């Protein structure tokens, strides 16, 4: 199982638009991915309700895990997404 830790860059954390963009990317990957705060139980990263329910704020870290042949590549792409301020005007 591949794992990455990333700091959330979006100003509003993983809420609304950033959560939607993230969960859409997870769903499009076709790879099962989980997300959690370090030390907490992971949830399905493809579910916007679970992701928003984590209440992750800007600057907090999350742990992503994925399993499968493309897991490393998918996690690298997701880390890149979460490391970007998805609420910035240039992210549109």
Structure-block tokens of residue 77: 């792409």
Reply yes or no on whether 15 is catalytic: yes
Q: Angle CA(4)–CA(76)–CA(12) in degrees, nearest 5? A: 75
The tokens of 5 are what? Answer: 């830790």
Phi, psi of 65 (to 5 degrees): -135, 140
Active-site annotation holder among 6, 8, 14, 15: 15
Give the catalytic positions in this structure. 15
């Amino acid at each position: 199982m591949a794992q990455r830790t990333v700091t959330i860059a979006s100003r509003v954390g993983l809420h609304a638009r950033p959560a939607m963009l993230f969960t859409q990317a997870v769903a499009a990957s076709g790879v099962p991915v989980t997300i959690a705060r370090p030390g907490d139980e992971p949830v399905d990263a493809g579910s916007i309700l679970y992701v928003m329910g984590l209440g992750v704020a800007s600057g907090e870290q999350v742990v992503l895990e994925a399993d499968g042949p493309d897991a490393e590549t998918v996690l690298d792409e997701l880390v890149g997404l979460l490391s970007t301020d998805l609420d910035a005007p240039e992210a549109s």
